[in-house]
Amino acid sequence: MKTWAWRGSASQANFMPEQPIKTGFIHRQSAHCESGATSNLLRNCGLDISEALVFGIGSGLFFGYFPFIKIQNQPLITFRNAPGRILKNTAKRLGVRIESFKFKNPEKAMDALDDMLSKGIHVGLQAGVYWLPYFPPPLRFHFNAHTLVAYGMDGNDYLISDPVFDEPVICPRKDLMKARFAEGTFAPKGKMYYLAEIPKKINLPLAITKGIKETCRVMIKTPLPLIGVRGIRFLAKRIKEWPKKYGKRKASLYLGHIIRMQEEIGTGGGGFRLMYAAFLQEAADILKENHLSDMSKRMTGIGDKWREFALFGARICKGRSLDGDNYETLGNIMLDCAEAEYLLYKDLLEVIR
């Protein structure tokens, strides 16, 4: 197992290979941090649950448009459940007990982490991406709900399984402490957790069924107009009004924000839909339900449609519009996504009773 350490200033991007460190921890790269970290923690405790299964069981699929909550002066748009919900839902439905902690004092938080690691416990952490030095500078931004796993120490450095990297990394103590106490939206407040108890037997079919039902309930039965399919429709209609309401420049900034949240934060709108399609395919095999295979294909098509929205939108933002690339078209593509998702969730509820 190859481990990479940061050697250089925060403005550089040089990674120098260190000697392999033997820890016994199984690291697998994933598409998304929370579902990937949860899968890695479960796997290292004896439950080989894929990232896609974690995402589906944890009801990770979501949509929310919250113009009254700002992320870097832009309205919050999310294509996944709230930070921590995937872990919490997955653990609950599998019967896994989690112990979690938050701290006010950074030094005490690091001492508590050291104590856990000295006992051979793998610890999940919430951290701010911007302060993690092993991220190349172009990929750092102020996002405080990043999830990773600390699984050992090498002097004052921490051995980190960060799910978005293909290999484990090393993070110095002072940097990890700063990342764990990053300020702003979703401030981590030193959050750490570990899997305290794993059941001898799990009811995987029941966990899958509960995860699907919860996702469908949130996406099509939430009465609030900003959440689920209603939220997608709400935003789609307003996109059409942006050029007239805000002018070309501001409309382009808002559109760029949607695309960034969809395609660059985690796996975004299309990517999360494609991950859910993978979940439905695994669920079809486990539940012996062929209808879920068909729905997996439908969800793949929906994910591709979201990617089409991003492609058209990116051309508009970059001033490279083709014939038909306009805000009216974008709004209609999003409305098509909403309708396709509504029908899919409705059919899923018919299959999963």
- Calculate the average pLDDT of the chain: 88
Rounded CA-CA distance 239/223 in Å is 21
Q: If 0-12 CB within 10 Å is exposed, 13-18 middle and 19+ buried, where does residue 320 land? A: exposed
* Least confident segment among 1-5, 72-76, 334-338, 346-350: 1-5
The SS3 assignment for 217 reads helix
CATH 3.90.70.10 maps onto the chain at 4-64+73-197
Does the pLDDT of residue 241 top 70, yes or no?
yes
CA atoms within a 13 Å half-sphere pointing along the CA-CB vector of 174: 0
Residues 6+ apart with CB under 8 A from 259: 310, 313, 314, 317
Cα 284 to chain centroid distance, Å, stands at 23
Does the pLDDT of residue 7 top 50, yes or no?
no
At 4, the pLDDT band (50, 70, 90 cuts) reads very low
Rounded CA-CA distance 39/42 in Å is 5
The SS3 assignment for 105 reads coil
Q: If 0-12 CB within 10 Å is exposed, 13-18 middle and 19+ buried, where does residue 336 land? A: middle
**Tell me, which fold does domain 4-64+73-197 have in CATH?**
Cathepsin B; Chain A (3.90.70)
pLDDT tens for each residue of 13-32: 333 333 333 457 899 999 88
Q: Which helix (H) or strand (E) holds 172?
A: strand 169-172
The torsion region of residue 343 among left (phi > 0), alpha (psi -120 to 50) and beta comes to alpha
> How is residue 9 written in tokens?
């200033």
pLDDT tens for each residue of 291-341: 999 999 999 999 999 999 998 998 988 887 766 678 999 999 999 999 999
Rounded CA-CA distance 94/74 in Å is 37
